[in-house]
Amino acid sequence: MSLTLADVERWNSGDVREVSTALDATSTSMDGVKEGLRDLPILGTWSGQAADAANDSLDKLGAYLSSHVAARQEASKIISKSADEIDGLKSFLQNVQEMARGKFDINLETGTVTPLTDDVNQDDLDYITTTLKQLLASAEMIDRELAHGLNLLDGTDEPGNPPTVPINQNDERSRNQIEAFKRVYGREPVTANDWRMAAGLDPHSYNPKNHGKPARIVAGRFTPQPGKGVVRSNWFIPAAEVQNLPKDLQDLADLRLLPKNFGDNRGPSATIDPEHSRVSLFVDYENGIVAVRQNPTTTVDGARGGADTAPPQVHVVEAPDGRMTIDYNTWDAYEFSGAVALDMTVHGRITLDPLDNGTVNLGGNTMIYPSMETYQYREGIPPEVLQWTPANSGSDLGPATSLIREHWIGDASLPPVRPGIPDWRWQLENAIPFAPDPFTQHTTKLTDPSEGLIPKVSEGR
């Protein structure tokens, strides 16, 4: 029988921890008995066949105790970890319930989300519904982990053999997110931030306007900064549609002289689905993962396949003090190549600085278009706004008029991280006209995690 949200609400982590504590005590006691077997006084003077038989029996008893001590120790760790995960899951459920208060009714027995008013925000409804499904998937996994811990005690499972992943085969999106997360993390998502990263790393498109075209994702590894949670930046087009220009001779031949692309048609939102932005940056400080996701560009008239995705170009460097500078360059897949060559793209260079109080400072230069929002997500704390800069234009001409100007955002005094090259070389390469950017030449380029290798971010200063 599947778990329900009501079951999650009824879970008592204190009772689970008591089991873990009891197992710790019994394993310590059994370990003491095992160690004491070899200290029996009679073993030093006893010899002969009876003594040999006794020694053999003691060896078998010692091996028996060793295996049971190992099983109890592993079970204790698994059950204790599950108790912590239960706390996090219940806190997550409370946050979702608080978000829904006054707007949606959540049936904890069925998981059904019902709007309380006619003026419903579809993005909020989709987010809450999807999040609750993910929460239940996490609950099922915790339940399996608890069962695995108990199975270790009776020998059904062996130490070192983890439980299989419980996947709802009827929920394709959750299944895809779990697989995308495993590809990067080597394990299944459990916490709210795990699922946030899983959603960002899943390249599949679920919005019909994307014509099934996948997102392009690049990722890298950096030194974790525990306690900082996940930081997410989104770049999005506020208009429903925006004006484009012909990409090439094919557009001219097809008389697509003023083609249009779909925008994101929204304002700022900390709970928006990853598909509802042009580009998103995810920085998982708990696990040391940085990823950038670029969603498909979609044509209003459905021409040229209806959707296509350009590859994001992202270079990252970190400093010993925890600062990380990210250089990004992304563009419309249907943009004229000459405009891309002239850097009429969504590009910038931002620096994140994790602080001792758990928050993260942000600063850097970006384009004045599109809109940019940045949030921090920490366990048990509502999302915090780190930065919000609306696009300079909300009209459909925004991209055509605004991708040639940059501005500073956040803390302009925040020093960026330089590549780990000598000062003289940095100054020289910056002084050479028309030379490649020394920052991108001497920092780590993020790569597609589906290709296997996820690079370690280089250290700068």
Distance in angstroms between the alpha carbons of the first and the last residue of the chain: 55
Q: What HEC string does 318-344 produce?
A: ECCCCCEEEEEEECCCCCCHHHHHCCC
CB 134 within 8 A of CB 159: no
Within a domain: 265: yes
Tens-digit pLDDT profile for the chain (461 aa)?
578 999 999 999 898 888 888 887 876 666 554 455 455 444 445 445 554 554 555 455 455 545 566 777 878 888 888 888 888 888 888 888 988 999 999 999 999 999 999 888 887 888 888 888 878 877 887 887 788 888 877 777 766 555 544 445 457 888 899 999 999 999 999 888 999 999 999 999 988 788 889 999 999 999 999 999 999 999 999 999 999 999 999 999 999 999 999 999 899 988 888 999 999 999 999 999 999 999 999 999 989 999 999 999 999 999 999 999 999 999 999 999 899 999 999 999 999 999 999 999 999 999 999 999 999 999 878 789 999 999 998 888 988 888 989 999 999 899 999 999 999 999 999 999 989 999 999 999 999 999 988 999 999 99
Cβ partners under 8 Å of residue 160, min gap 6 = 74
402 lies in a domain? yes
Question: Based on the domain organization, do 345 and 246 belong to the same domain?
Answer: yes
Contacts of 137 (CB under 8 A, 6+ apart): 166, 167, 168, 171, 174, 178
Q: Classify residue 314: in a domain, yes or no.
A: yes
Judge if 231 and 131 occupy the same domain: no
pTM of the model: 0.72
120 and 221 both lie in a single domain: no
Say which amino acid occupies 63. A
- Asked if the structure places residue 178 within a domain, the reply is no
Check: CB of residue 369 under 8 Å from CB of residue 399: yes
Domain final residue, candidates 151, 179, 194: 151
Find, among 347, 339, 338, the residue nearest to 407 by Cα: 347
- The number of domains in the chain is 2
**Is there a single domain that holds both residue 260 and residue 359?**
yes
Q: Show the domain range for 45.
A: 5-151
Closest CA to 33 of 74, 54, 64: 64
Tell me: do 104 and 230 sit in the same domain. Answer: no
Does any domain span residue 164?
no
* Residue carrying structure tokens 């310590």: 28
Give the dihedral of Cα atoms 81, 82, 85, 91; nearest 10 deg.
-130
Chain-centroid distance of CA 441 in Å reads 27
Q: Letter for the amino acid at 51?
A: A
